[in-house]
Structure 1
């Protein structure tokens, strides 16, 4: 009892700490205000797809910086330019007073900027797209030194200036700049201050060049070119020009933040309105609650009070997951909610494995405590193997995915890891506490009687092995044809282009089409969806320059607003050619590496023919799922990639359970005919296979029904994949193991390497 009590104390403290970590996410602002600041801020951050905002991916154009430089120095030059650009972007956005902008480096030469609450990022585009490199040049005249090189530079009004190429002073010496108004004309100007070195140099150069024109050049354009009437001391000056208050204020901001070392170009833009974000939250919460309730009802209905214990463990699992995600400072996205819902279904898998193993021990006549201990012991390796294979796929999703998809990977990984803890700690602790009260009575865990009766008799599944393999091959071949014709409905993540969601009441498709055609936008495809007055406008792949300046989006918005002045644009997504190409390459690489990762792990944990069987079956499962995308017309986007990699983990997870039982039976009865041993192994795990598939299916079903287009690319393929993955474990993977196993036997090889030493053999028999 001391052991039980001490474990209860330790596990209780861990659970309490985790739940307290999650608590700030549920408290109202009035309660958070009374808590310490460090604790109140321990919350999940909502992604832009949930709270609204804009996402800009900026490329640092370093072509000019590395031109004519030693190739060995290119990487260092690019690295330095990106780091300096990060600092300048951060200063510029801070100067605007924007709340909590998130600025991170992405890839080799890109910067990701996330702007919560910004529904139209055009002004931010302009600020970040301006290099703001300011230099001072003397106008070329007879006072210029001999052999001075002269350059022609345009002014704001189109005039041309002949300037000395030599830079008289760099703009980096400007320490401050502010909007002001000229005392005489009242026009907006920019007053600037120089640092100590700049003040000294500016005073000396103006003293020596009284009467000359000093041009102030911003990004290769003359902003102003005053005549120096006298020496300018004190380190301050004024920039005048054809400014409005807004443009003068922007110039002052740019000068304060400093110049970019290289131009920044927008290569991807995504914007979500706040209303769409709140709808996504409501959808995620409601479908998640319904899915969890369906899973809980199923577990209680099947296993009675023992299922209720699993449900309590699942509730603690949910709370601890939120606590850990809060500690990590994770960002919760819509794909993250989908991953969390999926993890609920998969978390039950460990409890089902344990309960089914305990039931087997009970049927063998084991007393309650022995059945409990044996059930947990035999389930451990299966739980470990199945979760590790899922985590391999999820880790690759994190490495190669973008922000929202990474959110899916993080929530899935945290959910699976915590589910292992709750299953082997809390659930066992409570079950032991209940079993101690039974004394010498048998431990009875209910199930489905008709399914138990089927499982008690070996089902000859492998009689249909040739039919199963043939049918699977035909379906996969048909899926390959569907991949080429009609092909996949690629989202803009892979095809590039622009999608604009429009809410324009009292309009119709014909009016929109005519208005866009009149504005020269006849190539825009218009699709009605959802409620009346809701449309999706699709533009073809934009050029890199078009993505960078966003002119096509602004033109379409203007055309729509001219037709419907009260039109709203809840969502805008624009992906350029470089980004879509990168997504395609990363997707292919992630799927290949996931397959190789599974192959390597199963090769080590089992044998080569088990690993090959799982990998081949996985390839067949994936081709059928790709065929489902093509046949059902489900959009193939980054969320779909998350579904594919989740299916890889889920499908191999399911096969590991069957393989683990095959391995166990091979160690117990290595001389039994292989076909009989495989049939017995599949039959004995049939209940677990069905139950786990049902719980995962139930967890995702509400999201598939009510989640809408936002998550359909994930939920619908997942439902299809669960059915395919479950059936392939029985009808495809096992027959391939049999064919490869018979081939090994003909070569004189054993199915498993089991030690001939009796003591070692006894240890090998333990899971």
Structure 2
């Protein structure tokens, strides 16, 4: 495996050079990037909102209100159809999703069916869909009685169209804010994801997205008293409705339902000032709108004309003279900002349906900068620790491993840049974690080389055999991590996906650098230097040969495992996890005081009158920083985002909002289901792979040991009361992958020894395999711990809750690989024995006698 043809060498270094060039823009300023030649890659990584600040908002079309509007429209269509058919009817009414009426003369039923056909005929679902949709189904429960029902597929069709139209309206509104590179995407049937990086005014964005912006011009009813209707002493006459102005306090106005002119006829809207120097909005109509507006104002001189936006009266000025030029002015209680925002809404157009904000995640630019600095510091310190450790452990071979590690990180960054993937804070953790895991492949190879050398092979033979024998183990170990990352990507959301992307790319680059780049560098060194001995480091963690009787302690270990598992399960049943808003719904706010110190007591007092239920306020990081949590609020069911807006109003004078997460109950339930499916799906997929690669006993052993690791991590989270959120799921799946990685390495050596020592008792063979792999297990565990410890102390407060369970998971994973995965093979009789306890030989076995623990090295 040490021979490389010229074309292979060229291809290897071409890939490395391409990775360096693709990653280069991330180390340059924007001016330097702009000066690069056109053929050079110029796209740096996209930073997530948690790194550069900005807002993530998930919008959902209000299905109920859209269905109600469609039902009202259906009733009007039926009324017109019956009038055109000359049919006398009674009891025309709508309920739920149906419209019912009864003919006075049942003999007219045939004519009515014909009149209703345009309403009930299927409509085309579009050229690309290539089909039709029946929106309305008609039935006759009794003779002369008709029932028209909105179909489910028809409602979904309308919903899909509303989302498609809303995306364009939302895009125009966001573009008007002048932000750079907003991301607006459809999610599922009825949702729109809006991500605006670098936005420093998320409240303004929410205000723009929360309004339907349906502008209408209607005549005011001056013959009836709006105050009497508002007081309940009179009823609104037919054809009118009671609306309120935007004044503080608002006052009622009785307006006609008939829309004289709508916002659909607008061609432009710009903020300006009136002659009294008050902010106004100047609007211009198209030719049809100008003609209609002119006719209405000409026919209704000296009557008030209400300008209505989303069922609120902006103003109701008198028509002093006809307005024939197609231009008008909207006045009201505007500020410069509100006039500008209304202009944005009117220029972008009205939304076809109401959009509710069901999830919000906002990070201030200052917190994003802090996160970047913390991630960079943690990465540098972790790199120094891992590089120094490898150098001390393997000498010159450690230098080669460190070079491979450097290019590994460069290739990850290059791939992230090339794919346009978003780097989040957990993504940085994934890169730093990859640094710790990547050296595992080099440790596997180097320990194998040292073992072959101690067995008497020459230097060249030892190096060649080391790479050859480590190949399958490295592939099996990394494929399990890749499976976990893929499942996490497809079932996860947001930051968890970012972590999954970096982990998956890290697995790919690790396999390339370990099995190709490292092998080439070692081959080149052997060819040029002709070494007489394999280099070693300056210290040894363990002796070359250990003889620890692990299986002798398996019963004690099993007892301890059962006790701890029962304690963890009992604690989970009794206390439960400290679920974050991702799974419970609610709001989390990270705020920074303008003063030198945050007043936690005062915050609780201020919010007690606003928020129902328990409000958690605690110090977070420095003395100026606080973390505020509260559950889903009843007021949000009536007015989305009402609670967070109230909290902002109460605290904005004294506190700066660094981070805001608002998750509705619908989204939290979906996230909980996705997280559960993610864990189960990843474990199942990995187990199937192990079953196919090994024997069924190995798969069962891996299942039990992995379940143990998950139970122990959950027990740790329950006892420490660390918040359990989406990143906790990422931590659990990562540890599942790491533990299985460790288990597979041990199993691979056991499988090799099963073929090599066919009469050795299984307990002795497992002890032998564990001792042979122990040095590698310790070395890999130490590198992982070094990377994780750097993240805990230098990665920032946000990432700490994500990393602490992983540190426990590494320790638990090593324990389960030794004391659970191995003994399970004994209990499931991987190697059959007779009544005397002697190993039953297979037909092709050759007798072997007096086989003791071989005098081999401790590596692989």
TM-score (norm 2): 0.80
Instruction: Give a deviation string over 1:342-396, Cα, whole Å, max 9, x none.
Output: 1110111111111112222223332333322222122111111111111111112
1:553: how far off?
3.4
1:338 aligns with 2:429: yes
Give the aligned partner of residue 175 of structure 2.
Answer: 94
1:525: how far off?
3.0
Give the aligned partner of residue 629 of structure 2.
Answer: 538
1:295: how far off?
1.0
1:553 aligns with 2:644: yes
1:44: how far off?
1.2
Q: Is the 8 A contact 2:722 2:801 kept in 1?
A: yes
1:494 aligns with 2:583: yes
1:113 aligns with 2:191: no
Distance 2:659 2:566 in 1: 38
1:694: how far off?
1.1
Distance 1:517 1:584 in 2: 29
Give the aligned partner of residue 500 of structure 2.
Answer: 409
SS of residue matched to 1:366: coil
Give the aligned partner of residue 399 of structure 1.
Answer: 490
1:699 aligns with 2:787: yes
Give the aligned partner of residue 763 of structure 1.
Answer: none
Give the aligned partner of residue 384 of structure 2.
Answer: 293
Residues 378 and 447 of structure 1, relative CA distance in 2, 3 Å threshold: farther
Residues 96 and 479 of structure 1, relative CA distance in 2, 3 Å threshold: same
Aligned counterpart for 2:205 among listed residues 111, 114, 124: 124
SS of residue matched to 2:659: strand
Aligned counterpart for 2:268 among listed residues 153, 176, 192: 176
Residues 538 and 141 of structure 1, relative CA distance in 2, 3 Å threshold: closer
Give the aligned partner of residue 552 of structure 2.
Answer: 463
1:134: how far off?
2.4
Give the aligned partner of residue 76 of structure 1.
Answer: 157
1:644 aligns with 2:735: no
Give the aligned partner of residue 163 of structure 1.
Answer: 256
Q: Is the 8 A contact 2:298 2:321 kept in 1?
A: yes
Residues 553 and 66 of structure 1, relative CA distance in 2, 3 Å threshold: closer
1:508: how far off?
4.0
1:474 aligns with 2:563: yes
Distance 1:654 1:196 in 2: 74
SS of residue matched to 1:453: coil
Residues 6 and 365 of structure 1, relative CA distance in 2, 3 Å threshold: farther
1:620: how far off?
0.8
RMSD, aligned α-carbons: 3.3
Residues 418 and 171 of structure 1, relative CA distance in 2, 3 Å threshold: same
Choose 347-356 or 467-476, whichever is displaced more.
467-476
Give the aligned partner of residue 145 of structure 2.
Answer: none
Give the aligned partner of residue 406 of structure 2.
Answer: 315
1:387 aligns with 2:387: no
Q: Is the 8 A contact 2:550 2:767 kept in 1?
A: yes
SS of residue matched to 2:251: coil
Q: Is the 8 A contact 1:516 1:522 kept in 2?
A: no
Give the aligned partner of residue 746 of structure 2.
Answer: 658
1:238-387 paired onto structure 2 within 5 Å? 238-387=329-478
Distance 1:36 1:192 in 2: 46
SS of residue matched to 2:626: strand
Q: Which has the larger radius of gyration?
A: 2
Give the aligned partner of residue 16 of structure 2.
Answer: 15
Q: Is the 8 A contact 2:36 2:42 kept in 1?
A: no
Residues 189 and 342 of structure 1, relative CA distance in 2, 3 Å threshold: same
SS of residue matched to 2:60: strand
Aligned counterpart for 2:817 among listed residues 726, 729, 738: 729
Give the aligned partner of residue 49 of structure 1.
Answer: 50
Q: How many residues align?
A: 743
Residues 527 and 155 of structure 1, relative CA distance in 2, 3 Å threshold: closer
1:221 aligns with 2:221: no
Distance 1:613 1:66 in 2: 54
Give the aligned partner of residue 690 of structure 2.
Answer: 602
SS of residue matched to 1:694: helix
Instruction: Give a deviation string over 1:296-345, Cα, whole Å, max 9, x none.
Output: 11111111101110111001111111111111122221111111111110
Choose 738-747 or 267-276, whichever is displaced more.
738-747
Give the aligned partner of residue 572 of structure 2.
Answer: 483
Residues 625 and 175 of structure 1, relative CA distance in 2, 3 Å threshold: same
Distance 2:162 2:37 in 1: 40
Residues 447 and 688 of structure 1, relative CA distance in 2, 3 Å threshold: farther
Q: Is the 8 A contact 2:598 2:626 kept in 1?
A: no
Choose 471-480 or 552-561, whichever is displaced more.
552-561
Q: Is the 8 A contact 1:598 1:615 kept in 2?
A: no
